[in-house]
Amino acid sequence: MPWPALNTFFYATVALLVIVDPPGTAVVFAAMTPNDTKAERISQARRACIIAFIVLAVFGLAGESLLSAMGIGLAAMRVAGGILLFITAADMVRGSHATRDSESEREAAIRTDDDIAVFPLAIPLIAGPGAMTTMVVLHSHAGGNPWEIAAIEAAVAVTILITLIALLAARLVARLLGETGASVAGRVLGVLVAALAAQITLDGIKQAFFTQ
């Protein structure tokens, strides 16, 4: 694999890991499945990760064409995506987003016997709006280069694999982090997501106004 593609792989992996937040997702998963057996948790985690991988991979490959069909430029997508990511980052730093989502999702999971693999685990906890937007932006940067596209898809696979490992060890992760550790980790990741959002927005503005 050429060196630029390796750079793309590492950048995409870090960006997706920060946004998906496998440890935080594992903590929420543990809270949603207090009465499930080990076999049920393994089955839900596997199916959720498979679904999330398909959603992110397909959205990354087809997202740009969908935007073009709707008459939306990549610059607009980058600016909008950066703003949405920044809102998510602000919630992460304040802790309000994680707390609100985890409580509502835990309550919903406890109230129902429905399978949580698709919702809310695969979507939106793993393959959320931030991850989808990031996939479109990453593919737009690749510019159709097959090596870089392969690197991005490989980054998605690695991210989902790490997330699966975290989900399978959800009970252990929840015990190790605890509420305080999960809160601190979420806020640190929120700062990184905010920086990523700012960079995406600046790239979109630059493309819109300074690229002919």
* Residue 91, in any domain of the structure: yes
The count of structural domains within the chain is 1
Range of the domain at 50: 3-205
What tens digit of pLDDT does each residue of 38-95 get? 999 999 999 999 999 999 999 899 887 887 788 877 778 778 777 877 886 787 688 6
**3-state SS string over the chain?**
CCHHHHHHHHHHHHHHHHHHCHHHHHHHHHHHCCCCCHHHHHHHHHHHHHHHHHHHHHHHHHHHHHHHHCCCCHHHHHHHHHHHHHHHHHHHHHCHHHHHHHHHHHHHHHHCCCCCHHHHHHHHHHCCHHHHHHHHHHHHHHCCCHHHHHHHHHHHHHHHHHHHHHHHCHHHHHHHHHHHHHHHHHHHHHHHHHHHHHHHHHHHHHHHHHCC
In-domain check, residue 211: no
Asked if residue 212 belongs to a domain, the reply is: no
Q: Does 41 map to a domain? A: yes
pLDDT digits (tens, 9 = 90+) for 118-166: 988 898 789 987 788 889 889 988 888 999 999 999 999 999 999 999 9
Is 210 domain-assigned? no
Residue 157 lies in a domain: yes
Side-chain half-sphere of 64: how many Cα atoms within 13 Å? 18
φ, ψ of residue 209 in degrees (nearest 5): -110, -20
